[in-house]
Each structure stands twice: as C-alpha cells, then as structure tokens.
Amino acid sequence: MLNQQTTLERPTPARQPVRPTPPVASKAFHSSIELMGAPMPFGRNAEIYGENEPAEYVYKVLNGTVRTYKVLNDGRRQIGAFYLAGDVFGLEIGEEHTFSAEAITDCKILVIKRSALIGLATRDNDVARQLWAMTAAELQRAQDHIMLLIKTAQERVAGFLLEMAKRSAAAAEVDLPMSRQDIADYLGLTIETVSRTLTQLEKGAAIAVPSSRRIVLRNRAALTRLNA
C-alpha cells in the first residue's frame, strides 16, 4: 500500500495545472497539517491505499489527481470521487479505509499520520471541528453524487462538467485528467455513452471538445438547465 511507486511506471509527462485550494478547512488548520506530513510522489496508476486496509494515514493532494473507488465482485467499478490539488482524502473515523485510492496522473501527495491528527484534535477544538467538517464535506459530496446517479446520461455528464469546472482554475475550460473510463465509472455509465453524450452536447453547442481531454463550456446556461 504505502510502499511508494509500485507502478509499472509509464513515463508520463506530468504536466499538472495548478489548482486553487478549495475552502474545505481553515488556513490555520491546513498550515498545521502541512507540518505533520511528508510529501510523497506517486506514479500514474499507482495504488495509494486499498479498501479495508488500516487507515493509518490521511492524504492531501499537492499536485496531480487521485481517484477513490470500489470494485464489486463481478468487476464493476464505481469511482467514489476525484481529488485535485488541495483536496484531502482518506480520512476515516474507523480503523480501515472504505475505498481504494489510486493516482490518476503522477502526483505529489502529503501523507499525514492519522494518529497525530487525532491526537491534536483531542487537544484542540478547532482541529476537532475541522476533522468533522471534512467528513461533512465528504458527506455532502456523496449526497450530490447520489442525486447525479438518478439522472439521465445527459444530465450526469452536464453535472460532471459543471462540477469539474467549478473546481478548476479556468472556469470556462476544463482540463480532464481522467480517462473516459474513469468518467464512466464515476457517473455509472459506459464509456460509449459518455462519449456519445459529449458529442451530443457538442452538436448542441453547449460545449466544444478541442481535444478529448479538454472541454470548453460554451453555454453554461444550457448545461445548468440539464443539471435539473
């Protein structure tokens, strides 16, 4: 698990756009956890931790993108979330990770000992509240995800693009670090449906797709309307 680069390491030009830190938690908190962790590199597709493994660490993305996921016994994979630079993931209250985590691109990730964080929380109410707030933010995301999964393919894809746009620096343009398969497994669709839906949105002039990993939001109102 934490054995660093277990990757089969395809040499990938790791060009990561720098993203702003989302307001998940206070500055004071983030600067305090910076001190408690060690930055660590992960190669593309490297496993960061596995489902059911002891949750000894909490992670913060410094750059790159991470996916968390579960695989059903017949092989279907569900991606729980994508984590971009600034996002914290892998925080558990129980003793085990409930998802697996992998680097989507080459990443630099801050690795923090959970016990240190928890210890700090017992002494500092602010930290305790921040931990709670992070779990609550995760909950909010999961609930939004549920709402996404009951929608039509168009609505799911539109919702996904709007979500990614909100998290990116450049608001009108989204640089997707993940493959169509990742998107499909996040949205509960197939790659074919994701691809067709993007084509459809492009034909309807809601978006432009200059390259497969780059999406320009041309008509946000149309996307928002689809977002139901």
Binding site for a second copy (CB under 8 A): 70, 72-74, 76, 78, 80, 92-94, 98-99, 121-122, 125, 128-129, 131-133, 135-136, 138-140, 142-143, 145-147, 149-151, 188, 228
> Is the Cβ of residue 73 or residue 211 nearer to a second copy in the bound state?
73
In this chain, which of 54, 169, 192, 214 binds DNA, going by CB under 7 A? 192
- Shortest distance, position 220 Cβ to a second copy, whole Å: 17
**Cα separation of 168 and 164, whole Å?**
6
Give the residue among 127, 107, 97 at the shortest CA–CA distance from 33. Answer: 127
Sequence-distant (≥ 6) Cβ neighbours of residue 193 within 8 angstroms: 153, 184
In this chain, which of 55, 126, 188, 208 binds DNA, going by CB under 7 A? 188
- Shortest distance, position 28 Cβ to DNA, whole Å: 38
**Cα separation of 131 and 137, whole Å?**
10
Within positions 196 to 215, which residues make up the interface with DNA, using CB under 7 A? 196, 198-199, 209, 211-213
> Is the Cβ of residue 63 or residue 154 nearer to DNA in the bound state?
154
CB 59 within 8 A of CB 112: yes
- Shortest distance, position 30 Cβ to DNA, whole Å: 32
Q: Is residue 67 a contact point for DNA (CB under 7 A)? A: no
B/e letters for 177-206, b = 16+ CB within 10 Å, e = fewer, are bbebebbbbbbbbeeebbbebbeebeeeeb
- Shortest distance, position 211 Cβ to DNA, whole Å: 7
Tell me which H or E stretch contains 208.
strand 207-211
Q: Is residue 84 a contact point for DNA (CB under 7 A)? A: no
Give the residue among 219, 104, 205 at the shortest CA–CA distance from 165. Answer: 219
Q: Is residue 180 a contact point for DNA (CB under 7 A)? A: yes
Q: Is residue 189 a contact point for DNA (CB under 7 A)? A: yes
> Could you list the residues that contact DNA (CB under 7 A)?
1, 3, 11, 13, 152-154, 179-181, 188-196, 198-199, 209, 211-213
